[in-house]
Amino acid sequence: MGNRTNEEWLTSLRSPGELREVALADLSKIIITGIPYALAKWIQQDDLRFSSLVEEVTQETLLRVLARLDSFEERSQFTTWVYTIAVRVALTELRRAKWKETSLDQLIEGKEEGDEPHEIPDMGVNIESSFEKREMMSIIQKVMLEELTEKQRTALMAVAIHGMPLEEVARRMDTERNALYKLLHDARLKLKHHMEKQGIAPEELFAVFEK
């Protein structure tokens, strides 16, 4: 199932017809098998939301993989790259679900028990660049505390890190959607300028906020 070389995966997924369908089916099995272990810290298999989450994550991951085949740089196994995308998608979906049951203050102050949305669990798979991303996140959080206003920090944490919809953040912050856009734009610009002074490229910065 997962014994293809990187080149074989790419060739199969770029081919029309049955070859591509078989490769997608195999990738689905790999994702479905790995996700329960990766998410064990956040959600258990007996949770009523689990089955639908895995299905949604699998479909979204396959769509992202097909759309980004040209961006795969072969610095790791293809299946590791796919697994990394799947874990990121899954954690994003869990964060999106969590805001519905949590106050804005709890999201910003990190009061939720066991909430570590940027820690990707290591289940024996070498998750590509996970250490670098954790380090980047640590730097960004420090800069956010020192450089952003309280409103900018609140908006960026809620939207970019915890995945709360713009409409909900605007409602909870008692502001208009357009004003929130401006707040987020200014916050990102401040981060960008500050990080560039430290020699960190913008694409490295915004990769952390990728959904």
Residue 50: give its domain's CATH number: 1.10.1740
Instruction: Give pTM, 2 decimals.
Output: 0.52
Question: How far is it, in rounded angstroms, from Cα 25 to Cα 13?
Answer: 11
Q: What is the pLDDT of residue 115?
A: 43
**Domain that includes residue 56, residue range:** 6-109
- The conformation of residue 101, written as its DSSP 8-state character, comes to G
* CB crowding 140-178: b at 16 or more within 10 Å, else e: bbebbeeebeeebbbbbbbbbbbbbeeeebbebbeeeee
Q: What is the pLDDT of residue 21?
A: 93
Out of 80, 109, 138, a domain closes at 109
Same domain, 83 and 157: no
Same domain, 83 and 143: no
Please answer whether residues 42 and 91 qualify as being in contact, where contact means their C-beta atoms are separated by less than 8 angstroms.
yes
Please say whether the dihedral angle defined by the alpha carbons of residues 171, 136, 132 and 118, taken in this order, is positive or negative: negative
Q: What is the pLDDT of residue 105?
A: 63
Q: What is the pLDDT of residue 117?
A: 38
Same domain, 95 and 142: no
Give me the amino acid identity at 82.
Answer: V
Same domain, 24 and 93: yes
Q: What is the pLDDT of residue 102?
A: 60
Q: What is the pLDDT of residue 157?
A: 82
Q: Which residues of the chain have pLDDT under 50?
A: 111-129, 211
* Residue 123 counted as domain residue: no
* Residue 82 counted as domain residue: yes
